[in-house]
Amino acid sequence: MKVQPHCAVTLSYTVKPGDEEPFPFPTGPFRMECLVGHGRLLPPLEQAIMGLDEGDQVDVDLKPGQFVEDASPGRLVPIPVDNIAEEGPHPEGSIRHLMDEARRLQPFRVVKHDGAVVWADFSHPFAGRSFRLRVRVEKVRWATLEEIKTAAQYGAPH
């Protein structure tokens, strides 16, 4: 069965950055199941798998802003070095963490180190980066009426 709207697909995929910057995150393989044609997949990914059969594989190149929203320059915040969870040094471009009031670690990228303060960008660590997804269609089936109703009820993710 080919991938088409109203199908539930199981995909396995790996993520590779499209640049040479450090990438201290898992790259997969990952698995996911989702409904096709209901705004549940990234548009370039959905377009790339449309019409594929089980076992087919495709590479999907995502430009900056297609995987996660682009960086928000207004989100630069000065952080005292003593408030950073990791002990120094804190080189520019590194990912560090600040503990919030609920005791959750909030990741940020060090934009500038200025003595006892770093300027932190709280945009998603993947913002502004390109990626290549290597995707394999593991399974394709017709979605159930319940799955279609649920997708319509909750709409596309934000």
Q: Residue 158 above 60 pLDDT?
A: no
pTM: 0.73
pLDDT given for residue 154 in this prediction = 74
Task: State the Cα–Cα distance between residues 17 and 124, nearest whole angstrom.
Answer: 14
pLDDT at position 95: 86
Is the bond preceding residue 29 a cis peptide, omega within 30 degrees?
yes
**Domains, the chain, with CATH or none:** 7-67+127-154 (3.10.50.40), 73-121 (2.40.10)
List Cα–Cα distances, 94 to 56, 88, 89, 98, in angstroms.
37, 11, 10, 13
* Phi, psi dihedrals of residue 68, rounded to the nearest 5°: -140, 160
Q: How confident is the model at residue 20 (pLDDT cuts 50, 70, 90)?
A: confident
Measure the CA–CA gap between 41 and 34, rounded to whole angstroms: 8
